[in-house]
Amino acid sequence: MTESTISGAIDPATPVIVGVGQASERLDDPGYRAAGEADLAAGAVREAFADTGADPDAVAGLIDVVTAVRSFEKSSPASSSPLGRPDNMPRAVAERTAMSPGRAVEEVTGGQSPEHLVHEFGAEIAAGRIEAVVLFGAEAMSTIRAAQRGDDRPDYGETVGGQLEDRGYGITGLTSLEEVRHGVMTPIAQYSVAENARRHRLGLSQADYAARMGELFAPMTAVAARNPHSAAPQEYSPSDLVEPTESNRRVSVPYTRRLVARDQVNQAAAVVLMSAGCARAAGIDPARWVFVHGHADAVEPPLLGRPDLSQAPSAPAAVREALRMADIRLDEVATLDLYSCFPIAVSNVCDALGLEPDDPRGLTATGGLPYFGGPGNNFAMHSIAEIVAAARSRPGSFGLVAANGGILSKYSVGVYSTTPTPWRASTSADLQREIDRAPRIELTRYADGPAVIESFTVLDPDLPSRFAAVIARLPDQSRFVANADGDTLLDLLTGPDDPIGSTVFARSSASRNVVTATRAELDERHPRHPVGFADEYEDLDVRRDGHVLEVVINRPASRNAMSPVTNAELDAVFDAYFADPDLWVAILTGAGDQAFSSGNDLAASAGGGVPTIPENGFGGLTARRSLPKPVIAAVNGFALGGGLEVALACHLIVADEQATFGLPEVRVGLIAAAGGLVRLPRTLPPALARDMILTGRRLDTTEALAHGLVSRIAPHGGVMDAARRAAAEILRGSPSSVRASIAAMSAADAEPDTVSAVRGSLGALDSVLVSQDTHEGIMAFVEKREPRWTGR
């Protein structure tokens, strides 16, 4: 059957790759142009058009959609473009390459993006919604960094305008607040955690494991040395890769510099995907058509939730699913390119599928991210280009691209061949449901006591500034992150012996958890502060009046917003209040007449807005497991955000007639996670609570009283008098009975069945009936006098 006959038998809506292109330059290349991202990408697109074998201008005119892989300059809220960039990268490249697409797209962050885009737009073409798309990505990080060091800095800024479907970062789940709090948010740190866990699972020494990593990656360097687009075209032996030297320093335990992705590159790649009908009309030779035989996309749970830190089963599962769809075995694949940002990204797949480092096919067609180069999220576009070229050179053979995003978090796999095949609809939803059935590990944010190391990371282990963190398990098997402290533990983590399984001792604070090798070191380096009142406070005014404690947040210039210092001081004050047997009621208010509290003072938070909140929650109250004695919120003005959340945690809210209540978090890109999302719908009618949470709507005092948010209203300026009267009324009752009532109400809140809750509340009588206060109350009633409570 001739190629013409074959092409005529193919469904015109079948998607086919008809062109691939790559562009690159190194700083020391003759004719180095210092091309910016858009120009470099345009070069790859032109190569892809030329690769079709048809008239490039004619191909450009057929493109419906142009889609850019998100570059590192736009990959997270913390990224930036120091030398500027086009405001619409897809259309900037389109203008340079004679395209006039109706739709421009910028994809989410992640190394899986190029392969996933083939799947997405292949389905769009198969459904007849589009005819032709160009996928591209580029990184000019090497040029940018070199230019920043010079005096003559280019400006890559460009105003293009036009429609752009910007899909955002898409990085939810790639890191967590706990990893950020403990400095474990970089890929090197997170992958080291997984790698060290794998080494422990295999029972290998650090030296033996390093040798295996060298054996895994050394064959890739030979491929990179032959690739004209490689950023580092040099062949290395296994020992060259893993033995620390001045030029190959240890960047972490267990990685040397030559084992991690190389991001200082100037590389771009592009793929032209068309319907068979469009390709036929464009006159593109069917011999150049490459078909997608199988494809799969899978998402792994976040690192800290995985049952086994050393494994990410979604990646090999995606490979198996793509092969199943293609109806071939792995041994029938002629060419592979496995994403290789770090060794475990490769070994995670090889372990499950039985691939060996010396597989005669090789594990890379590009040369791998540490040697060919790691052009941000776009590496897999180069993989596709190389696999397409290999498929064309051996017609009928199969090639496989496996692309990874995040911390083994998102995985996309494609199987390619010149053999014609119809498009097959995605089965990834079913695959994902299977993955999602896996168990998850509970994470503890505040860890105290003995624990066992599960894995660890040490950054710059040979420098005095070495930084270490561990992932450990408490006796209840919950997992936590902590910073390692003390030379004994740091030496263990950086030494030749395996520290995993060792016992450490943890202590929590508002900002982080720490662990040391011994309890004595912990007490010496991180002593617990004794429970009690300080002589003075930075952000609070605290006074006792008999059995009443009055606490004033004294930051009127910031509307009594709570800084990390404020939170820590409130936490300590309430610890002291609940521990003091002579204090029976507390009143919390704000200084001045403008605000009770306007919430979290983000400007004063450490880490550029990362909250440092005590284990007991915002204001030392919102996450406290129990408030055993009454706390009255005297709301004298604004109670917004965290301020309202603190008030909601109190037993009574007494409000100034001019007070205002609201949760404006959504208006500044946050959520009311300090209790507002839970307590407000339980306090107010659900519809009203949702209105306040989702819109930032505020309630005045009249509305708050009508809906049960506050219990008393005071004339303007008189809220403390009203709160003191409420405290006095509480003091007329038995402190023991008040505390027992609070405990019973708290227990009832957790019991959905009313009858069960009522029966459970009878247990409160066990402590009340044997208290001195009960005897005193009965005697005072009989003797017709005021009781003299002792609180016992």
- What letters, b where the CB count within 10 A reaches 16 and e where it falls short, cover 442-471? ebbbbbbeebebbbbbbbbbeeeebbbbbb
How many structural domains does the chain have? 4
Query: 663: which 2 tokens?
Result: 């949760």
Co-location of 271 and 381 in the same domain:
yes
Report strand pairing: 548-553 vs 540-545. antiparallel
Co-location of 464 and 419 in the same domain:
no
Q: Do 89 and 37 touch, CB atoms closer than 8 A?
A: yes
Model confidence at 756: pLDDT above 70: no
pTM, full prediction:
0.88
Query: 338: which 2 tokens?
Result: 């496995």
In this predicted structure, what is the pLDDT of residue 2?
46
Helix (H) or strand (E) segment spanning residue 734: none
Co-location of 702 and 739 in the same domain:
no
pLDDT band at residue 759, thresholds of 50, 70 and 90? low
In percent, the amount of the chain with pLDDT more than 70 equals: 95
Question: Whole-angstrom Cα distance, residue 610 to residue 530?
Answer: 27
Query: 352: which 2 tokens?
Result: 């499950």
Co-location of 578 and 695 in the same domain:
yes
Model confidence at 753: pLDDT above 60: yes
Co-location of 144 and 293 in the same domain:
yes
Mean predicted confidence (pLDDT) in 135-149: 96
Q: Which domain holds residue 355?
A: 3-173+257-436
Co-location of 673 and 753 in the same domain:
no
Question: Whole-angstrom Cα distance, residue 69 to residue 62?
Answer: 21
Query: 18: which 2 tokens?
Result: 């008809």
- Mean residue pLDDT across the chain: 93
Model confidence at 293: pLDDT above 70: yes
Q: Residue 520 class from Cβ within 10 Å (0-12 exposed, 13-18 middle, 19+ buried)?
A: exposed
Which CATH number do you get for residue 512?
2.40.50.840
Mean predicted confidence (pLDDT) in 718-740: 93
Model confidence at 4: pLDDT above 60: no
pLDDT band at residue 1, thresholds of 50, 70 and 90? very low
Inside any domain, residue 701: yes
Please say which residue of 501, 525, 549 terminates a domain: 525
Please say which residue of 436, 458, 478 terminates a domain: 436
Backbone angles phi, psi at 101, to 5 degrees: -70, 150
Q: Of 162-176, 276-290, 596-610, give the range with the top mean pLDDT.
A: 276-290
Q: Do 316 and 349 touch, CB atoms closer than 8 A?
A: yes
Please say which residue of 414, 436, 458 terminates a domain: 436
Task: Answer yes or no: 179 catalytic.
Answer: no
Co-location of 431 and 569 in the same domain:
no
> Which 3-state string (H, E, C) describes 304-352?
HHCCCCCCCCHHHHHHHHHHHHHCCCHHHCCEEEECCCCHHHHHHHHHH
Q: Tokens 């002579």 — which residue?
A: 582
Three-class SS state of 266: strand
Other beta carbons within 10 angstroms of residue 496's beta carbon come to 7
Cis peptide before 254 (omega within 30 of 0): yes
Question: Whole-angstrom Cα distance, residue 435 to residue 313?
Answer: 8
Running DSSP on this structure, what letter comes out for residue 221?
Answer: H
Inside any domain, residue 251: no
Model confidence at 792: pLDDT above 80: no
Co-location of 467 and 596 in the same domain:
no
In this predicted structure, what is the pLDDT of residue 605?
58
Query: 564: which 2 tokens?
Result: 């990390």
Mean predicted confidence (pLDDT) in 669-695: 94
Query: 671: which 2 tokens?
Result: 């959520």
Cα dihedral sign for 55, 58, 60, 65?
negative
Co-location of 428 and 548 in the same domain:
no
Catalytic residue among 665, 703, 776, 783: 665
Question: Whole-angstrom Cα distance, residue 517 to residue 233?
Answer: 44
pLDDT band at residue 589, thresholds of 50, 70 and 90? very high
In this predicted structure, what is the pLDDT of residue 768?
58
In this predicted structure, what is the pLDDT of residue 178?
92
In this predicted structure, what is the pLDDT of residue 511?
86
pLDDT per residue over 624-650, tens digit each?
Answer: 989 999 999 999 999 999 999 999 999
pLDDT band at residue 612, thresholds of 50, 70 and 90? confident
Co-location of 372 and 422 in the same domain:
yes
Mean predicted confidence (pLDDT) in 228-247: 97
Inside any domain, residue 776: yes
Distance between terminal CA atoms of the chain?
A: 98
Backbone angles phi, psi at 736, to 5 degrees: -65, -40
pLDDT per residue over 410-450, tens digit each?
Answer: 999 999 999 999 999 999 999 999 999 999 999 999 999 99
Rounded to the nearest 10 degrees, the angle between the axes of helix 428-436 and helix 314-326 is 150
Query: 327: which 2 tokens?
Result: 């109806």
Model confidence at 708: pLDDT above 80: yes
Task: Answer yes or no: 165 catalytic.
Answer: no
Co-location of 344 and 370 in the same domain:
yes
Question: Whole-angstrom Cα distance, residue 133 to residue 120?
Answer: 11
Catalytic residue among 95, 115, 645, 751: 645
In this predicted structure, what is the pLDDT of residue 373?
97
Select the more confidently predicted residue: 6 or 33: 33
Mean predicted confidence (pLDDT) in 378-394: 98
